Amino acid sequence: MRTPPKSGLAASVVLLALTGCGLLGTGDQGSGTDGKVTITLAGPNQWNASGSSFGPAWESLVDSFEKREPGIEVKTQVLPLDGFSQTITTQLAAGTAPELVFNQPPHKAHEVHALDAELQKPNPYVPGNQRWIDVFKKDYFGPGVSKALSKESGKLEYIPFNLVAIGLFYNKDAFAKAGIDEPPATWEDFRTACTKLKDAGFDPVALDKGGLAAGWTWESVSTQLIDKYYDEWNQFDATGKPGKAPSVTEKSMSKVIKEGTLTTRTPEVAESLRIYKEFFDCGTPNWTGVADGGATVGYRDFVSGKAAMSWGTDFAVEALKADAKFALGTMPFPTITKATTPLSTDAPARYGASIGGTSYMIPSTVKDEKYAATIKFLQYMSSPAIKPWLDATGGLPAIEGVEPSPETAGLLEGEWGKPYRVTALPGGPEGTSFRDVFDGYLLEERTLVEELADLEKWWERGIEAGIKKNAWGDEDWAK
């Protein structure tokens, strides 16, 4: 079943468009002639357009590690955005990948080291730490977080260097001109803010023809209205076994849809669609013709000052700070309260950060001193030493005890910074664009009734595809 983009943002979504090339290879399998152990980290550049460097802040971070561990040298290989996934997948299968690789390309569990045992050992770069796993924010990374586990092995395969989070960026100058003193906290506040911004000559929300706004908005609206079903729908734990999970899983959602507990006739589905459309009605006119803005929706309209708010991720901060000529702020999606709809329980808007940002894993071909060196580097990357790099790139910390940068703090603010409790209402099967599912309704080419009927067909196809992909077909509920 296709759910809105989140932990799978990565390659084509949160990574900024870039050019460049890099060669991927194993390098020397032993120590260098100077006695140092050399390891290579290979992945896409998520921060700038360089084909050779992740930027000065990254280089400084690597230098600080090498000073702490003078017997280890870390090399960085920047891979092109349009080819890194295939390259890493191929080399993992061939056994020729370097010592550390970006975690998101498809791979088999046996091709990388499971890190569960290592995570039970102390992290020497965190004073007083007894178990490495304890340094991480447990809501986002750990054995109880389904998104963190390999679907094949159920193990922890990688270490997150940061988190990726979404939210609404806003133009503080535009808000001031429109007489808006505080970012809108509720949907009623949002409605008022949209009217004031339009009266002041702004498009309230930047939109474009990409798929991010469609997915993120649907997720943010629907998860609020179906939060009331947390206990009833929560039927499988994070590993897929009968039990409870911190967030209702895709498998649990598939079961309640398959059994007819949740249908498109469930009142919260239609209400989610109504509010969803209202958000788009507050956005850029003729948004289907606006170029995809990448990690910031409607990027040009937003940085030019034409639109006052925009969906975006923390990966967009570096570019926004360079291009926007106004004071920049971040805010959560508004909470839908009972003042807007009786179907609300006043459950707050939640999204939470995700480990779909920058994470690296160790190929299973890496052994001995090189393996030990990669473990040390990964431990260093989950210590307070990473804060200067996070501040420079707008990154959000994956570990406890490190504060986010000022520009991105709003993306983790209050309840919005916590994971939603119920997975969003689905769109279509995996690989289906949310625009394919919802555009006809958003553009008033289909009525709400027609959209609900169409959505039911998308769900049927998505459920069957998910059951087949995840091999749930032998379970009684899936037959």
In tens, the pLDDT along 6-29 reads 333 333 334 332 223 333 333 344
Return phi, psi of residue 300, to 5°.
-65, -40
Strand 100-102 with 359-361, pairing = antiparallel
Q: What is the DSSP string of 6-34?
A: STT-TTTTTSPP-----------SSB-TT
Q: Is 412 within 8 Å of 331 (Cβ atoms)? A: no
Return phi, psi of residue 456, to 5°.
-60, -40
In tens, the pLDDT along 142-192 reads 998 878 999 899 999 999 999 989 999 999 999 999 999 999 999 999 999
Percent of the chain clearing pLDDT 90 (strictly above): 75
Burial of 164 per CB tally in 10 Å (0-12, 13-18, 19+):
buried
Q: Is 234 within 8 Å of 345 (Cβ atoms)? A: no
Return phi, psi of residue 163, to 5°.
-115, 155
Query: Beta-carbon neighbour count of residue 403 at 10 Å?
Result: 12
Please tell me the predicted confidence (pLDDT) of residue 404. Answer: 87
Residue type, 254: S
Distance (Å, whole) CA 68 – CA 65 = 5
Please tell me the predicted confidence (pLDDT) of residue 393. Answer: 85
Please tell me the predicted confidence (pLDDT) of residue 354. Answer: 83
Q: What is the DSSP string of 345-396?
A: --PPP-B--BS-SSEEE-BTT--HHHHHHHHHHHHHTTSGGGHHHHHHHT-B
Q: Count CA atoms within 13 Å of residue 383 on its CB side.
A: 21
Please tell me the predicted confidence (pLDDT) of residue 395. Answer: 86
Q: Quick one: DSSP state of residue 119?
A: G
Q: How far is CA 414 from each of CA 229, 331, 333, 352, 411, rounded to the nearest angstrom? A: 22, 10, 11, 10, 9
Please choose, from the candidates 168, 437, 198, 215, the residue with its C-alpha nearest in 3D space to the C-alpha of residue 309.
Answer: 168
Please tell me the predicted confidence (pLDDT) of residue 31. Answer: 54
Output the CA torsion 296→301→302→305 (10° steps).
170
Percent of the chain clearing pLDDT 70 (strictly above): 93
Segments of the chain scoring below 70 in pLDDT: 1-33
Query: Beta-carbon neighbour count of residue 412 at 10 Å?
Result: 23
Query: Beta-carbon neighbour count of residue 471 at 10 Å?
Result: 10
The dihedral sign for the CA sequence 120, 122, 123, 129: positive
Enclosing H/E stretch for 330: strand 328-331
Alpha-helical runs (H) found in 282-346: 299-303, 317-323
Distance (Å, whole) CA 280 – CA 263 = 24
β-bridge partners, 236: 242
Q: Is 103 within 8 Å of 84 (Cβ atoms)? A: no
In tens, the pLDDT along 237-251 reads 988 999 999 899 999
In tens, the pLDDT along 38-70 reads 999 999 998 877 889 999 999 999 999 999 999
Global pTM value: 0.77
